[in-house]
């Protein structure tokens, strides 16, 4: 058998240099046989490094990071290079070629003594880790498609107080194109609405909370965001039946009215919209609590991590602002289109809502998204007034 020699390139992300086969940049579709690297994921990895850096500062003792679907090691090698506080990074990917490149990157960045590599099927890798004396303080679950099949094993690999991050790229399922598949994978129905990405993120948190509860574990959301076709959440995992019960008490349904765009949250299904009497559509069961940890995100912003650019700052600032606000946002342009009026500037709308005595803020999940405690009819009348 002749093995084709791979053409090698070097790519910089943050202060890390990654050694990659050129083929990884040429393949447009994820594949099990071609080593995986997505240059567009750099933005999300920059955010991860900034978050993990702040989180790691608070941990005493030895810190192990599990990059269990490592691909070419972009995230794991960056963690080892850019977060010296993390003692060991364990990179696993069933693709052996990927792991051989990740080893080259570790060497080039001078972190090979802190990096450990394996090419196991992830289920075996997680089972081995769960029974080992040392568990991970951080586990990143970033498979192709849905993270759902790996959640429970991931939870078994993490220490009490550790952090799990999950990425879902099955956006058609999470965003309501296939609600019944969402029910099967994430325990709740997704919904095709303007705020479908928020529903998707809440389904991810919900699935994590339901799986954790079976193991007497609770979750505390840290940060949720979306970009392109993926959604990503970070949550702290704590042991105990009380925290598990508390997590479950933060789950329920979002009831959505397609006629007036009204919505409410409830622990039990209701059929009729309380604002116009039209039939409700139902999303969930899913996570209804906060999406982000405000204190943590403020620390991330003030850490001035060199990885954070203007776009990160915008997302983080809006995420900080939306803590304590109602779940679900309105896309202002949808309402103005229905009213056949021009859309207001968001800053003008937010000021007007404040003047009328309502809370409001921008959403971190949609460039034209606004959260408010104003009833839908009042929001509509304000949008109409601003257009005249």
Ligand X SMILES: C[S@@+](CC[C@H](N)C(=O)[O-])C[C@H]1O[C@@H](n2cnc3c(N)ncnc32)[C@H](O)[C@@H]1O
Residues forming contacts to Zn ion in the complex (CB under 5 A) are 257, 259-260, 262, 273, 275-276, 278
Question: Do residues 224 and 286 touch, judged by C-beta distance below 8 A?
Answer: no
Residues 38-97 that bind ligand X (CB under 6 A): 38, 41, 69-71, 74-75, 93-95
User: Which string of DSSP letters, residue by residue, matches 214-262?
Assistant: HTTEEEEEEEEEEETTEEEEEEEEEESHHHHHHHHHTEEEEEEETTT--
Nearest distance in Å: CB 262, Zn ion = 4
In whole angstroms, what separates CA 287 from the centre of its chain? 13
Query: Measured between alpha carbons, how far is 147 from 250 in angstroms, rounded to an integer?
Result: 21
Residues 122-151 that bind ligand X (CB under 6 A): 122, 142-144
Nearest distance in Å: CB 316, ligand X = 20
Nearest distance in Å: CB 349, Zn ion = 21
- Out of 13, 19, 20, 37, which residue is the one contacting ligand X (CB under 6 A)? 37
From the list ligand X, Zn ion, none, pick the one residue 74 interacts with, judged by a Cβ distance below 5 to 8 Å according to partner type. Answer: ligand X
Nearest distance in Å: CB 266, ligand X = 36
Cβ proximity to ligand X: between 35 and 188 the closer is 35
Query: Measured between alpha carbons, how far is 195 from 197 in angstroms, rounded to an integer?
Result: 5
First to last CA, the chain: 74
Q: Is the torsion defined by CA of 270, 184, 180, 332 positive or negative?
A: positive
- Out of 14, 18, 24, 36, which residue is the one contacting ligand X (CB under 6 A)? 36
105: helix, coil or strand?
A: helix
From the list Zn ion, ligand X, none, pick the one residue 195 interacts with, judged by a Cβ distance below 5 to 8 Å according to partner type. Answer: none
Nearest distance in Å: CB 144, ligand X = 5
The answer to whether 20 contacts ligand X (rule: CB under 6 A) is no
Query: Measured between alpha carbons, how far is 196 from 194 in angstroms, rounded to an integer?
Result: 6
* Structure-block tokens of residue 258: 């397609």
Q: Could you list the residues that contact ligand X (CB under 6 A)?
A: 32, 36-38, 41, 69-71, 74-75, 93-95, 98, 121-122, 142-144
């Amino acid at each position: 058998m002749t093995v084709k020699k791979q053409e090698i390139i070097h790519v910089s992300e943050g202060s890390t240099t990654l050694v990659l086969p050129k083929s990884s940049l040429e393949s447009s579709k994820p594949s099990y046989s071609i080593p995986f690297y997505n240059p567009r994921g750099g933005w999300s990895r920059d955010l991860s490094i900034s978050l993990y850096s702040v989180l790691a500062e608070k941990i005493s003792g030895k810190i192990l990071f599990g990059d269990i679907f490592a691909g070419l090691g972009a995230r794991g090698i960056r963690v080892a290079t850019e977060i010296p506080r993390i003692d060991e990074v364990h990179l696993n990917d069933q693709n052996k070629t990927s792991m051989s490149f990740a080893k080259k990157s570790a060497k080039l960045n001078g972190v090979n003594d802190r990096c450990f590599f394996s090419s196991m099927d992830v289920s075996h890798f997680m089972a081995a880790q769960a029974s080992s004396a040392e568990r991970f303080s951080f586990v990143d679950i970033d498979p192709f498609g849905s993270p759902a099949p790996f959640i429970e094993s991931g939870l078994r690999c993490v220490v009490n107080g550790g952090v799990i991050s999950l990425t879902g790229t099955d956006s058609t399922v999470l965003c309501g194109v296939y609600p019944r598949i969402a029910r099967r994978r994430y325990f709740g129905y997704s919904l095709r609405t303007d705020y479908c990405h928020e529903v998707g993120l809440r389904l991810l948190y919900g699935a994590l909370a339901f799986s954790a509860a079976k193991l007497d574990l609770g979750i505390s959301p840290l940060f949720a965001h979306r970009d392109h076709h993926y959604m990503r959440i970070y949550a702290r995992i704590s042991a105990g039946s009380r925290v598990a019960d508390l997590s479950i008490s933060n789950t329920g349904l979002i009831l959505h009215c397609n006629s007036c765009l009204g919505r409410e949250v409830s622990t039990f299904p209701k059929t009729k919209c309380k604002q116009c009497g039209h039939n409700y559509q139902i999303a969930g069961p899913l996570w209804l609590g906060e999406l982000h940890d405000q204190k943590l995100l403020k620390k991330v912003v003030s850490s001035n991590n060199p990885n954070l650019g203007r776009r990160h700052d915008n997302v983080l600032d809006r995420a900080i602002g939306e803590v304590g606000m109602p779940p679900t946002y309105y896309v202002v342009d949808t309402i103005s289109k229905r009213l056949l009026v021009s859309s207001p500037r968001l800053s003008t709308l937010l000021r007007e809502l404040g003047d009328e005595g309502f809370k409001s803020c921008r959403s971190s999940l949609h460039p034209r998204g606004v959260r408010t405690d104003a009833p839908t009819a009042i929001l509509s009348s304000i949008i109409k007034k601003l257009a005249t």
